[in-house]
């Protein structure tokens, strides 16, 4: 059965489209626009999942939410492709980054987004939050300086998961050429044919 992706513009759900393209799994896209004033998801998404968030997929009578959970589900139905490598240390890195993306790196980036919207009112907190983001960016740079992909020598779902926080960091949190390994990794993922195909399916995406 074809997978339906409930895809919100400029959101984490772009990673799900990319993952599906990498795996070559059939899917359809139901696209939602953000409220232009609040930038929140529209209420129609609550008819799909009680939290009204994206990404959400429908497949074989199931509703699956949360990006990492969706990617793990896709690895499963994709016969293990892009899943954890066989080597134990690489598999541990895979699991770490699969969950680090949302569990550790995204929270300060979301705070930074709010602070930037506050203008002058947010200025007192900006330096402190930027230092938190920098700690994560330094960690990521050190990791990518030692190997081409987050888990090891091969591209995996962990790289798909890490794309959104690093793209957001490049847009609004100071990621630049001073961290060359991370920029090279971003250039590498943006050059993948599946990434370009996912952009065509999902529509405009501010972070690519």
pLDDT at 134: 97
- Give yes or no: residues 19 and 94 share one domain: no
Q: Which two tokens stand for residue 184?
A: 């090279």
- How many domains in the chain? 2
Residue 61 shares a structural domain with residue 118: no
pLDDT in tens, 78-90: 999 999 999 999 9
- Reported pTM: 0.94
Range of the domain at 166: 88-192
Contact (CB, 8 A) for 73 and 64? yes
Averaged pLDDT for residues 23-40: 92
Which two structure tokens, joined as six digits, stand for 16? Answer: 């799900």
Residues 78 and 148 in one domain: no
> Containing H/E element for 174?
none
Q: Give tens-digit pLDDT for 109-158.
A: 999 888 887 788 778 888 899 999 999 999 999 999 999 999 999 999 99
Q: CATH number of the domain at 26, please.
A: 3.40.30.10
Contact 65, 49 (CB under 8 A): yes
Residues 104 and 183 in one domain: yes
Strand order in the sheet with 56-59: 27-32, 3-8, 56-59, 62-65
Residue 208 has pLDDT above 80, yes or no: no
**Widest CA span in the chain:** 52
* Tokens standing for residue 71: 């990617």
CA atoms within 13 A of residue 9's CA, in its CB half-sphere: 12
Q: Which residue has the higher pLDDT, 139 or 34?
A: 139
Q: What percent of the chain has pLDDT over 90?
A: 83
């Amino acid at each position: 059965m074809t997978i339906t992706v409930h895809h919100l513009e400029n959101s984490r759900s772009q990673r799900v489209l990319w993952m599906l393209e990498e795996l070559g799994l059939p899917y359809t896209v139901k696209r939602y626009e953000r409220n232009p004033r609040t930038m929140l998801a529209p209420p129609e998404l609550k008819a799909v999942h009680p939290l009204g968030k994206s990404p959400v997929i429908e497949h074989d009578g199931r509703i699956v939410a949360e990006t990492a959970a969706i990617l793990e589900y896709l690895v499963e139905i994709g016969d293990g492709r892009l899943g954890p490598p066989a080597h134990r240390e690489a598999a541990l890195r895979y699991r770490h980054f699969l969950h680090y993306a949302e569990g550790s790196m995204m929270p300060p980036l979301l705070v930074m987004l709010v602070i930037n919207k506050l203008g002058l009112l947010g200025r007192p907190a900006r330096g402190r939050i930027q230092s938190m983001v920098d700690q994560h960016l330094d960690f990521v740079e050190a990791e990518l300086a030692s190997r081409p992909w987050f888990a090891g020598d091969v591209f995996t779902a962990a790289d798909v998961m890490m794309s959104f926080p690093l793209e957001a960091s490049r847009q609004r949190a100071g990621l630049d050429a001073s961290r060359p390994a991370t920029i090279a990794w971003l250039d590498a993922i943006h050059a993948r044919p599946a990434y370009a195909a996912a952009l065509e399916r999902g529509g405009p995406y501010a972070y690519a």
